[in-house]
Chain A
Amino acid sequence: KNEVEQSPQNLTAQEGEFITINCSYSVGISALHWLQQHPGGGIVSLFMLSSGKKKHGRLIATINIQEKHSSLHITASHPRDSAVYICAVPQGGSEKLVFGKGTKLTVNP
């Protein structure tokens, strides 16, 4: 079974700071998902990546397949970035995703 660990669990930052959220998993995967969940429940897919790095606006996601580790970076953080960030990986050959518990980010003005 693939185990997903995220760190930190909670993160508070000042507006403008560079943010890093980490995700480690235990079993080799084909792709990893980074998701954002705002209060109220809605989940938005940020990235799906299988190697290297992807960038979208102020968000950057990297993955190291050999080390089974991924990071999500937010540059020039803003209060609207406050949300829970979740990483998810496939469970073996199954269609199911295994989710981390999430990192709650609060960006203060």
Chain B
Amino acid sequence: DTGVSQNPRHKITKRGQNVTFRCDPISEHNRLYWYRQTLGQGPEFLTYFQNEAQLEKSRLLSDRFSAERPKGSFSTLEIQRTEQGDSAMYLCASSLMRNTGELFFGEGSRLTVL
């Protein structure tokens, strides 16, 4: 399958622990996006990469959040010292063109912080 893959799909952790999510985009897509979605809300932009460069980062992304995309392929989103407010669905999407390009989303990684 050549779709966007995210893992783990579900993560339950205790407050204060670190978690890492991985996203494997469609192979030829040079743009990769991370979004966060809480219950009843639309997704909110977190950050995006063009190839390996992180070109934009939302103010929603506190110092506890870091994202990487080494070699411009897969990406990781790490949350350090998790807080209950971090509980959300973390969505990854990829595209081939500028923001007028169609986005392909993964199934998301749901984080629950106890």
Measured CB to CB, the residues of A under 8 A from B are: 4, 30-31, 33, 35, 40-45, 48, 50, 86, 88, 90-91, 94-102
Contacts and interface: CB of A to CB of B under 8 A. Distances in A.
Nearest to A98: B45
Nearest to A47: B102
Interface of B: 31, 33, 37, 40-45, 48, 55-56, 58, 89, 91, 93, 98-108, 110
Contacts of B103: 33, 35, 45, 48, 97
The 5 A-B residue pairs with the shortest CB-CB distance in the complex, in nearest-first order = A99-B42, A96-B45, A41-B108, A43-B105, A31-B100
Contact of A88 (B42, B89, B100, B110): B42
Contact of B100 (A45, A50, A99): A50
Given A35-B105, A40-B107, 8 more contacts: A42-B105, A43-B105, A44-B105, A48-B103, A95-B31, A97-B33, A97-B43, A97-B103
